[in-house]
Structures are given as C-alpha cells and as structure tokens.
C-alpha cells in the first residue's frame, strides 16, 4: 500500500464514523474533545499532518450557536514516512511552480528512487535521446 492509499482509506473510515456520531474506529484522540465535537451538527475534513511514524487527521465540527471545534485523530503508520524533496536542479531548471516535494512511505520512496536510477543508468535512457525535444518550460 502506498501512503496516498493509506491516507484515503483512513480518512474515509474516520469521516464516515464521525458522521454517524460513532467513536473513531482507529487512532487515538481526546475523548472530552470528541464529546464536545459531537454537540455540533456538521463535520468536515480538515488538515492532514505528516510525521515520521504517524499521521494526524483533523476534523472540523460546526454549529452556528456553539462555533467550531476541531478533533485531531492520530493514526500510527505501518512503516516510516519520509519527505521526498524536489531536487534543486529540478526546481531551478525545469519546474515552474510551488511544488517542493511530497510525503511517501519509505518503501515507496526507495522504489521511486530505484526506478529513477534505472531510467538514468540503463539502456532505457537511450530512448530519451530518440524522442522529440520536450518544451523547455511548462506554461
């Protein structure tokens, strides 16, 4: 499983439980905060925060008369998470945007790096010389 799938599955499972006013089926959270959140009628997903060994999902509960409340649920990951920064040479020479990198499971990052090494240092690289020139800038 890749990190993106892990996030999607957990977010969906947690959100569906919270919509039904059920305790989250995974992770740890503050029970008092959950009780306070359940006093509100609407729930929506908030920010997801990444750490090397866990993910923290935020859910925002709203009620006009009470104001918003935020529930944070910490879910441990099955393997370490790493941040894969976009290399400086890509940012300087190729990329026209604000993307600086992405979070991945360590095994996924190792696989992507190995695929890149293969693209660079094998016969596969010769095919790039035979293709038409790609545009120098992305617009």
pLDDT at position 101, please?
87
- Confidence (pTM): 0.81
99-115: per-residue pLDDT in tens?
788 999 999 999 999 99
3-13: per-residue pLDDT in tens?
999 999 999 99
Contact 130, 136 (CB under 8 A): no
Give the domain range for residue 33.
3-76
59-83: per-residue pLDDT in tens?
999 999 999 999 999 999 999 999 9
94 shares a domain with 64: no
Average model confidence (pLDDT) across the chain: 90
The secondary structure of 70-132 as a DSSP string is EEEEEEE-SS-EEEEEPPHHHHHHT--SS--EEEEEHHHHHHHHHHHHHHHHSGGGHHHHHSP
Q: Is residue 60 in some structural domain?
A: yes
120 shares a domain with 93: yes
In angstroms and rounded to an integer, the radius of gyration of the C-alpha atoms of the chain is 21
Residues 37-56: what's their mean pLDDT? 97
- Separation between Cα atoms, residue 71 and residue 31, nearest integer Å: 9
């Amino acid at each position: 499983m890749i990190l993106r799938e892990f996030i999607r599955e957990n977010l969906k499972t947690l959100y569906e439980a919270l919509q039904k006013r059920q305790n989250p089926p995974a992770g740890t959270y503050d029970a008092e905060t959950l009780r306070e959140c359940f006093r509100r009628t609407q729930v929506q997903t908030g920010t997801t925060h990444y750490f090397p060994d866990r993910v923290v999902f935020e859910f925002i509960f709203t009620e006009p008369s009470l104001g918003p409340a935020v529930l944070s649920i910490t879910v441990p990951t099955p393997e370490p998470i790493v941040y894969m920064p976009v290399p400086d040479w890509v940012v300087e020479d190729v990329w026209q945007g604000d993307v600086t990198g992405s979070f991945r499971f360590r095994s996924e990052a190792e696989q992507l790096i190995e695929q890149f090494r293969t693209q660079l240092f094998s016969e596969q690289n010769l095919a790039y010389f035979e293709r038409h020139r790609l545009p120098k800038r992305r617009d």
